[in-house]
A = this chain, B = another copy of it.
Amino acid sequence: MTCDAIVNAAARVLSTEGIDRCSTNRIAEVAGVSIGSVYEYFENKQAIIDAVALRHLDRISSMFDNAIVVLGDNADLQTVVRVLVEAVIAAHGHDVRLHRSLSQEVPLSEHVLRKAEEFKHRTVLSIQRLLGDHLGTSDLSAQIVFDSVDSIVHRWARDCEHKPVPRERLSAELIRLLEGYLTYR
């Protein structure tokens, strides 16, 4: 309860006020608990930030896992690409401001970065399995598939407030990008 309130508060402060205003005292205040309680549940400030990041990563991770499970084993290229693009967009849409803060201004600890790396690795492996026939022999191709979509969506999410590009157009264009890449030559 209290523990969740603290993580929620930290996520909220990070999203809405940025890391500079995200002091332990502010977190406690927003969580509606005393600063002492914060340190009952977390060893230090970094541990709070890590908890926020891990929870966010978990949510994104399970969105992906679901999408991939839904695809099953025999989906055709078009379907795979579409589902993949939609999953990435959905994942970024989940909590845009928090996502931005976590990926741009917050210093994450090794532990969290490793977890994120593991997530990406798992996802790249899934892509390899799903698109194996269409990829070159190199494992770089699957990475390019993941990174191109992920990073473009990331920028779209970052900028979508002052430069609103409709989600459907983005989706269509990314699908074209991947289909082109995967069928070229």
Contact = CB atoms under 8 A, between A and B. Distances in A.
Contacts of A138: 169, 173
Interface string A162-175: 00010001100110
A152 interface: yes
- Number of copies of this protein chain within its complex: 4
Contacts of A103: 104
B141 A152 contact: no
Interface residues of A, number: 31
Given A105-B105, A107-B105, A140 B152 contact: no
A74 interface: no
Nearest to A107: B105
Interface stretch (A52-60, A64-72, A87-95, A176-184): A176-184
Q: Does more than half of chain A's interface fall in helix, strand or loop, or is it mixed?
A: helix
Interface stretch (A6-14, A27-35, A125-133, A143-151): A143-151
A166 to B, nearest CB: 10
Contacts of A140: 165, 169-170, 173
A169 B90 CA distance: 31
Interface in A84-132: 103-105, 107
15 contacts: A18-B107, A103-B104, A138-B169, A140-B173, A141-B173, A151-B151, A151-B152, A176-B185, A177-B177, A177-B180, A180-B180, A180-B181, A180-B184, A180-B185, A183-B184
